[in-house]
Amino acid sequence: MTQRSHSSRFNQNHRNSLVWMVILGLITTGSLGCSKTESTRQASTGEEPLPPLPSDASDESLPSDVDSSQRSEFISQPAPGDTATVEPKGWPSPTSALSIEQESEDATVKPELQLRNDLTPEKLVDFLSACDQDMELIYSGRSGLKSREAEVAEMQRIIRMKLEASRRLVAHADATDEQRVTGKRGELQSLSHLASGGSLKAAEELEVIAKAGLESNDPSFASDSRLVLVGFELESLQNGNELAPQKIVDLVEQFTPNPQAPDVPALMVMGQARELLSQYGHVDEAKRVREKILATFADDANPEVAMMAAKLAGAVQFDGVDKLRAAALAGQSVTPAQWKAAAQTLIDESRDMMTVQYLATAALELQGSGNDPLAAATYEVLQQNFTDPTEALGREVNVAIEAARARADIIGTPFDFQLPSLGGETIEMSDYRGRVVLMPFWAAEFPASLQLLPNIINLRERNPNHVAIVGVNLDSRASDQTINAKEKLGFPSLHSATEPGAEVPNPIVKQFGMVSLPFLVILDRDGKVADVCFTERQLQSSTQRLLAQE
């Protein structure tokens, strides 16, 4: 494949590029301020994302130097389209100029940000922060602007002001080194916005600044610059540049982790790079990026970062084990030896939290489908590979194995827990002797805990004299939300309070080996635990088996 021209990377298709939106969003959530990506608006308002900035403005209109005071007239023009009160040019409060009064049905835009010519470095830094705040209001749909066109126009005005203010800060004779870095980051962010809107001139300037930024002594600016350059190379990859895969790998492998805090934006870009490299068939390069992700983030002290790293790193062997998993759940013949070999291959390829949790979940599904041999084989492989209980992976495996043992040990034992009822009524389990009791464990804050409820009620309605329902609520306290939920359920519930700070948060959960919801216990006619269920199939087969017994 031949490399396409430089300008083709910023055509109409570029504006819709997920890659560039990811890069743009990450570098605009840095320490300068709070501007967000289009996803913020979508999440908060349910609307379609704000479209990229229009590219019909001439590239020549971009400021080309940093000390031309005449340009303040250009960047201080009010946005067209909506009513706005424009005060004389001067320094506004650093709080957002586009905020609107709460509960106002006739909200209008408050005085707009205007860039004066004689701002000190301190005021320029404040101005950049105010720009970010106003951009955030527009993205979240809270600006008071009444049309999408007005939002786009005002966003473009603010971005160009931010670019000018950033350049003034970089060139200001009184600026400190730290303030100049802030200006450079603002310039990088502003040009990224304009490049995402299709401006070739902005893209060219952005690439120059990012390459120079790699040599910066400021780790945050260097990291932002690296992210931008990865974005350029990902675009080149999509456009057929044969050199792009190796350049992506080089940029990723040069990344130096921050010892103070994990660089989550860098992690996310690495994940995007790995995914695209794999998608375009560059398996070796994707594997090297994956190795960098795991080497840098897989053992992070923050478990959320470690889990994110595991997900973004992916694993090429998931496809193989997934096929066997699907076959086994469909009732096809899969031997324990075949399953153990696939599980071991996955562990060898991806020794991380994602793999551990994947296999632990698979074991639950296999047990729920009645395939106890494969479930046991899964726990055996996990136990053989993760033996250190002081490591996060070892602890996760121990929890899964101990829970599996608890579920096995509880079968056949009487349900004799002395628990209060949730609603204050008297519940004596002995009153249910002679009937099969379906006992869903549930919590008001987790609606998914009652996914099996329609099937449970259906079984009782079809067998009113032989099936009863008694729930076990696991909320920390019987709140109004919990009581209201219980009243809607239509069956009594015991209450086993969960205490998050306790050494054993909930004794009944531990004794029954519950590790996920939904979770249901079935008691036989003698009040003994006959089965624990996670799936509809398991619920139906176990109940029918018990009802058939006289």
- Cβ neighbors of 437 (< 8 A, separation 6 or more) are 415, 429, 467, 468, 469, 470, 522, 523, 527
Question: What is the C-alpha separation between 190 and 58, in angstroms, rounded?
Answer: 16
Q: Rounded to an integer, what distance in angstroms lies between the CA atom of residue 426 and that of residue 420?
A: 8
What gap in Å lies between CA 120 and CA 131, rounded to an integer?
Answer: 16
Q: Pinpoint the alpha helices (H) of 421-466.
A: 453-462
CB atoms within 10 A of CB 163: 25
**Which pair of tokens denotes residue 78?**
């009010």
Strand partners, 528: 414
Could you give the CA distance from residue 177 to residue 68 in angstroms, rounded to a whole number? Answer: 22
Write down the pLDDT at residue 41: 36
Q: What is the pLDDT along the chain (550 residues), one digit of tens a residue?
A: 333 333 333 332 332 333 444 455 445 544 333 333 333 333 333 444 444 443 333 444 444 333 333 323 323 333 333 333 333 233 233 333 333 223 333 333 444 567 888 899 999 999 999 898 888 888 788 888 888 888 888 888 999 999 999 999 999 999 999 999 999 999 988 998 888 777 888 889 999 999 999 998 888 888 889 989 998 999 888 888 889 999 999 999 998 877 767 788 889 899 989 988 887 878 789 889 988 998 888 878 788 888 888 888 875 556 678 888 889 988 899 999 999 999 998 898 878 888 898 899 999 989 888 899 999 999 999 999 998 888 888 999 999 999 999 999 999 999 988 899 887 788 899 999 999 999 999 998 888 888 899 999 999 999 999 999 999 999 888 888 888 888 889 899 999 988 877 888 898 999 999 988 899 999 999 999 999 998 888 899 999 999 998 6
Q: Say if pTM beats, i.e. exceeds, 0.75.
A: no
Q: Which of 145, 150, 89, 133 is nearest to 114 (CA)?
A: 89
Residue 324 makes CB contacts below 8 A (sequence gap 6+) with 334, 338, 339, 342
SS3 472: strand
Distance CA(169)–CA(4), nearest Å, equals 36
Please state, in angstroms and rounded to a whole number, the distance separating the CA atoms of residues 10 and 19.
Answer: 12
Among the listed residues 181, 187, 184, 190, the one whose alpha carbon sits nearest the alpha carbon of residue 218? 181
